[in-house]
DNA sequence: TATGAATGAGGATTCATTCAT
DNA sequence: GATGAATGAATCCTCATTCAT
């Protein structure tokens, strides 16, 4: 039992050690040797804990996603009304403290375009599900507070689509101010 | 002059010859040798016309994009009113005849996540610009025909964001029926 | 007959066109394409007139050797006595006007270390022979003028060995002033 | 510490394994694959220890140079007087047991004509310096024993120039008997 | 005779993966 | 469990050479 926990911890620890390297280089050009050196472990050790390069990125994405969730949930619970929560749930990702998280998400999405294995799919589904739950609850609250007129289910999905859309657009602009503007324009249209 | 045209033509011709191979394999695992063989030219010839693998994908994406534009413009001009045109502009991409186009677009977008050179940027800007012009004109017409209440500029951008969002969602579902449903749900919400 | 002369002339002309390129780049890294472009002819044309890269260097070396001979013979005939002629025959190669000639000779010698075909051998023999004839006549004159005490034959060979030695040393120092100093030290030792 | 010594030893070991191949083929036509096979190591291993082909030749030249020095120093210490030592220091290189050493030296010199990196320069300087020290001490001894009349410094340099010259001439003749004759003719002229 | 587009053999180099320590 | 030296398959890319025009 203890060793399994250790194994998970070490996996995460190695992945986090590689964060800087992964976000600063093109993932395509990174080698296992470089990653092992960055994490201060032997090449063989990498193979103890990861299938390949993409597996490290997955672990790193999960780590940062969980951190993002923890921080934003905390802040969200301090916000008073549904409107503020909805705006925050869209905008928080583009705050400066999450620049690393955005970078990793970009790299993760890039890998998704060519990689389609189980662990990747599973994490994508989890991301989708958890976001949908969040937006569903926010829409419910919004309808209660009468800032949203829509029936619950559809609007939550539209919000989810738009949320991911904005991230894609962000990768195009690569400008957080611009994307924040676009987001608020959209939310002003949807929310009363 | 003649040779320049020939060079452009041959570039396109080679890229199109590689279409099947590119869409059926994982681009990451494709080699220049395989592509050269598929196009029935020597390896050296590939290097005569392309910088690398990604350059071939770019050419292919451009070729299919232009074909898509030509076909959809033609059909669009037969449609009577703004509402139909808007729905068509969103849904056409998911018709079965454009399955190849969707595949290429997926591969192209995957490459965008790690590649950031001039020709890729240029084409991305062109895509963005041309789509924005289309949606702007459709919104104008929609407002004229009183099926859209919004001020022109903002709605066009929202449509554009949603359009690209739907494609990202499609890559997740990989199910044209589902995405068509989502699109129509969204458009029913926006259009009267 | 005319065409043969033309062929020889064109061969020389192409080789001379490549002089700058050959002396400024490392011969190992030069390609036939580059040489053809530099000479403003097609790649196929190069093959009409030359066996390979080394053949161009040979032609260029011959051209510059003949030029060197012509210029130095002229100047030598103006010199009054054997002593002056001997000193000039050693030092002239290191005058600034012959920097190109030295460079080519270096490249030619480098090729000799791995290439051993007939035309290269023939030219090396010719160089050796002509220099020996020159030094033999200078020694004869020197003995007549009583500035050399030695029997003719041996000294001519020693001079020839030293002459080529100095060039090898020059390639090591790559400093004309230093080599001139060494040469004069040596000749002061040999000549009264 | 141990690994550094091992690395140096393995480097030398690989280079020595390639000796036969390097001296029997034209270095220009040798491939890393052939060298790796000859040394019974993988291609990747070659790159672990060497920059390129020329780096192997450098290592081999150094190995054989050190062997040559060791053998000749030993024999030289048995010789009685300066005259014998001077003659031996010139002639030893052309003894049959050093045919490999001559071949490598030829190849090394050929590479010097187009390669000018630090490690090559450093070794060339070392060669020059050590030979100059040897000849200086021999000239000193010769003056003591009154077989040389010259002032010490100049003659040592002249001997050094001639020594290298003779090797160049040898590459032309490729005939040890002839070169030995030339050497003795020269030394008879210099030494009383 | 001159050309240069097309070629593909072949060499350089990389790097994921193994396995003895 | 951790390591990193050794490996060689795999891929890149070059460039001498050909040959139809």
DSSP letter, residue D146: T
| Band of pLDDT at residue D1, cut at 50, 70 and 90 | very low
3-state class of D151 per DSSP?
A: coil
Touch between chain D and chain B: 3 or more Cβ pairs under 8 Å = no
C-alpha span between D136 and D157 (Å, rounded): 8
Q: What is the rounded average pLDDT for all residues in chain D?
A: 91
C-alpha span between B85 and A70 (Å, rounded): 44
For chain A, the domains span 53-190
Q: Does position B2 have pLDDT exceeding 60, yes or no?
A: no
Of the candidates C115, C172, C164, C109, the one whose C-alpha atom is nearest the C-alpha of residue D120 is: C172
The distance in angstroms from the start CA to the end CA of chain B is 53
> Residues D83, D147: contact at Cβ < 8 Å?
yes
Q: Is the CB of C84 under 7 A from strand E?
A: no
Q: Does position A106 have pLDDT exceeding 80, yes or no?
A: yes
Nearest residue for E19, CA–C1': A44
Of the candidates B115, B24, B129, B108, the one whose C-alpha atom is nearest the C-alpha of residue B62 is: B108
Given this model, what pLDDT does residue B153 score?
63
Nearest chain C Cα distance for residue D94, angstroms: 17
Which pair of tokens denotes residue D133?
A: 């020290």
C-alpha span between C191 and C189 (Å, rounded): 6
Given this model, what pLDDT does residue C151 score?
65
Question: What subunits touch chain B, counting only 3 or more CB pairs under 8 A?
Answer: A
C-alpha span between D166 and D185 (Å, rounded): 12
Chain B residues whose CB is inside 8 A of the A161 CB are 162, 165-166, 169, 182, 186
Q: Is the CB of D44 under 7 A from strand E?
A: yes
* Cα B160 → chain centroid: 13
Residues B90-146 have pLDDT tens digits of: 999 999 999 999 999 999 999 988 888 899 999 999 999 999 999 999 999 999 998
> Residues A165, A148: contact at Cβ < 8 Å?
no
Chain D residues whose CB is inside 8 A of the C27 CB are 114
The 10 Å Cβ neighbour count of residue D141 is 16
Residues A19-75 have pLDDT tens digits of: 999 999 899 999 999 999 999 999 999 999 999 999 999 999 999 999 999 999 999
Chain C residues whose CB is inside 8 A of the D162 CB are 161-162, 165
Long-range contacts of A169-172 (CB under 8 A, 24+ apart): A169/B161, A169/B164, A170/A94, A170/A102, A171/A106, A171/A109, A171/B112, A171/B113, A172/B124, A172/B128
The contacts of residue D65 (CB under 8 Å, 6+ apart) are D101, D127
Q: Is the CB of A34 under 7 A from strand F?
A: no
Of B112, B124, B158, the CB nearest to A186: B158
Chain D residue with CA closest to C106: the answer is: D113
> Residues D142, D83: contact at Cβ < 8 Å?
yes
Q: Would you call A172 and B107 a contact, using CB atoms and an 8 Å cutoff?
A: no
Chain A residue with CA closest to B169: the answer is: A161
The 10 Å Cβ neighbour count of residue A60 is 23
C-alpha gyration radius of chain C: 19
Which residues of chain D have a Cβ shorter than 8 Å from any chain C Cβ? 26-28, 106-107, 109-114, 124, 128, 150, 154, 157-158, 161-162, 164-166, 168-169, 171-172, 182, 185-186, 189
The contacts of residue A183 (CB under 8 Å, 6+ apart) are A90, A91, A94, A166
Q: Does position A5 have pLDDT exceeding 80, yes or no?
A: no
Q: Is the CB of D9 under 7 A from strand F?
A: no
Chain B residue with CA closest to A22: the answer is: B114
| Band of pLDDT at residue D192, cut at 50, 70 and 90 | confident
- pTM for the structure as a whole: 0.87
User: Position of tokens 């869209």?
Assistant: A90
Touch between chain C and chain A: 3 or more Cβ pairs under 8 Å = no
Q: Is the CB of B8 under 7 A from strand E?
A: no
Q: Does position B1 have pLDDT exceeding 50, yes or no?
A: no
Residues A124-149 have pLDDT tens digits of: 999 999 999 999 999 999 999 999 87
Which residues of chain A have a Cβ shorter than 8 Å from any chain B Cβ? 26-28, 106-107, 109-114, 124, 128, 150, 154, 157-158, 161-162, 164-166, 168-169, 171-172, 182, 185-186, 189
Chain B residues whose CB is inside 8 A of the A22 CB are none
* Assigned CATH for B53-190: 1.10.357.10
Mean pLDDT of D31-42: 96
Angle between helix B118-144 and B53-78 (nearest 10): 10
Chain D residues whose CB is inside 8 A of the C172 CB are 124, 128
Per-residue DSSP letters for C81-133? SHHHHHHHHHHGGGSGGGHHHHHHHHHHHHHHTT---HHHHHHHHHHHHHHHH
Angle at B128 between CA B4 and CA B158, to 5 degrees: 170
Chain B residues whose CB is inside 8 A of the A123 CB are none
The contacts of residue C30 (CB under 8 Å, 6+ apart) are C21, C22, C53
3-state class of C21 per DSSP?
A: helix
User: Position of tokens 């053809």?
Assistant: C36
Chain B residue with CA closest to A183: the answer is: B158
C42 CA: nearest nucleotide by C1'? E3
Given this model, what pLDDT does residue B4 score?
59
C-alpha span between A184 and A165 (Å, rounded): 14
Chain C residues whose CB is inside 8 A of the D109 CB are 113
Touch between chain B and chain C: 3 or more Cβ pairs under 8 Å = no
Of the candidates C151, C32, C135, C14, the one whose C-alpha atom is nearest the C-alpha of residue C76 is: C135
The contacts of residue A13 (CB under 8 Å, 6+ apart) are none
> Residues D88, D75: contact at Cβ < 8 Å?
yes
Nearest residue for F11, CA–C1': B31
C-alpha span between D55 and D120 (Å, rounded): 9
Given this model, what pLDDT does residue C2 score?
55
Q: Report which secondary-structure segment, H or E, holds A68.
A: helix A53-78
- Enumerate the nucleotides of strand E whose atoms come under 7 Å of any protein CB: 1-20
3-state secondary structure C138-187: HHHHHHHCCCCCCCHHHHHHHHHHHHHHHHHHHHHHCCHHHHHHHHHHHH
Given this model, what pLDDT does residue D113 score?
86
DSSP letter, residue B145: T
For the purposes of burial, counting CB atoms within 10 Å of the CB of C166, is it exposed (0-12), middle (13-18) or buried (19 or more)?
buried
Mean pLDDT of D112-133: 91
- Interface size, chain C vs chain D, as Cβ–Cβ contacts under 8 Å: 75
Nearest chain C Cα distance for residue D50, angstroms: 19
Q: What is the rounded average pLDDT for all residues in chain B?
A: 91
Question: Protein A90 CA to nucleic acid E11 C1', in Å?
Answer: 54
Q: Does position B172 have pLDDT exceeding 80, yes or no?
A: no
Given this model, what pLDDT does residue C164 score?
86
Given this model, what pLDDT does residue C6 score?
83
Q: Is the CB of D152 under 7 A from strand F?
A: no
> Residues A98, A68: contact at Cβ < 8 Å?
yes
Q: Is the CB of B3 under 7 A from strand E?
A: yes
Given this model, what pLDDT does residue C115 score?
85
Residues B23-59 have pLDDT tens digits of: 998 898 999 999 999 999 999 999 999 999 999 999 9
Alpha-helix residue ranges (DSSP H) falling in chain B: 2-17, 19-24, 32-38, 43-49, 53-78, 82-91, 99-112, 118-144, 152-173, 176-190
C-alpha span between B165 and A160 (Å, rounded): 10
Q: What are the φ/ψ torsions at residue B146 (nearest 5 degrees)? A: 60, 35
Q: Report which secondary-structure segment, H or E, holds A8.
A: helix A2-17
Nearest residue for F15, CA–C1': C31
Q: Would you call C189 and D154 a contact, using CB atoms and an 8 Å cutoff?
A: yes
> Residues B44, B64: contact at Cβ < 8 Å?
no
Of B107, B113, B164, the CB nearest to A169: B164
| Band of pLDDT at residue D154, cut at 50, 70 and 90 | confident
Given this model, what pLDDT does residue D9 score?
93
Q: Does position B181 have pLDDT exceeding 70, yes or no?
A: yes
The 10 Å Cβ neighbour count of residue B142 is 26
> Residues D154, D90: contact at Cβ < 8 Å?
no
The 10 Å Cβ neighbour count of residue D83 is 18
Q: Would you call C161 and D158 a contact, using CB atoms and an 8 Å cutoff?
A: no
Mean pLDDT of C24-40: 94
Of the candidates D68, D84, D71, the one whose C-alpha atom is nearest the C-alpha of residue D141 is: D84
Chain A residues whose CB is inside 8 A of the B161 CB are 162, 165-166, 169, 182, 186
Give whole-number Cα distances, A182 to A163, A173, A179, B148, in Å: 11, 11, 5, 20
Please state the length of chain A.
Answer: 192
Q: Would you call D154 and C27 a contact, using CB atoms and an 8 Å cutoff?
A: no
Question: What subunits touch chain C, counting only 3 or more CB pairs under 8 A?
Answer: D
Residue to mutate among D61, D161, D183, with most C CBs inside 10 A, is: D161
> HSE-up of C61 (CA within 13 Å, CB side)?
24
Chain D residue with CA closest to C30: the answer is: D114
Q: Is the CB of D25 under 7 A from strand E?
A: no
The contacts of residue B100 (CB under 8 Å, 6+ apart) are B19, B23, B64
Residue to mutate among B139, B161, B182, with most A CBs inside 10 A, is: B161
Least confident residue range of B159-163, C43-47, C95-99: B159-163
The 10 Å Cβ neighbour count of residue D129 is 10
| Cα dihedral B71/B72/B74/B80 (nearest 10) | 160
The contacts of residue A118 (CB under 8 Å, 6+ apart) are none
Q: Does position B171 have pLDDT exceeding 90, yes or no?
A: no
């Amino acid at each position: 039992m203890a060793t399994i926990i250790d194994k998970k911890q070490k996996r995460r620890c190695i992945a986090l050690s590689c964060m800087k390297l992964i976000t600063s280089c093109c993932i395509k050009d990174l080698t296992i040797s470089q990653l092992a050196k960055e994490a201060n472990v032997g090449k063989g050790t990498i193979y103890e804990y990861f299938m390949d390069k993409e597996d490290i990125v997955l672990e790193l994405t999960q780590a940062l996603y969980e951190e993002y969730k923890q921080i934003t949930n905390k802040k969200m619970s301090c916000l008073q009304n549904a409107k503020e929560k909805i705006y925050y749930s869209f905008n928080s990702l583009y705050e400066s403290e999450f620049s690393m998280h955005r970078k990793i998400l970009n790299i993760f999405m890039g890998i998704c375009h060519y990689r389609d294995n189980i662990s990747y799919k599973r994490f994508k589904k989890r991301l989708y599900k958890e976001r949908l739950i969040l937006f569903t609850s926010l829409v419910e609250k919004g309808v209660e507070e009468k800032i949203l007129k829509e029936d619950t289910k559809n609007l939550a999905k539209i919000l989810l689509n738009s949320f991911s859309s904005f991230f894609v657009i962000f990768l195009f602009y690569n400008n957080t101010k611009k994307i924040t503007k676009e987001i608020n324009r959209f939310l002003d249209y949807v929310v009363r």
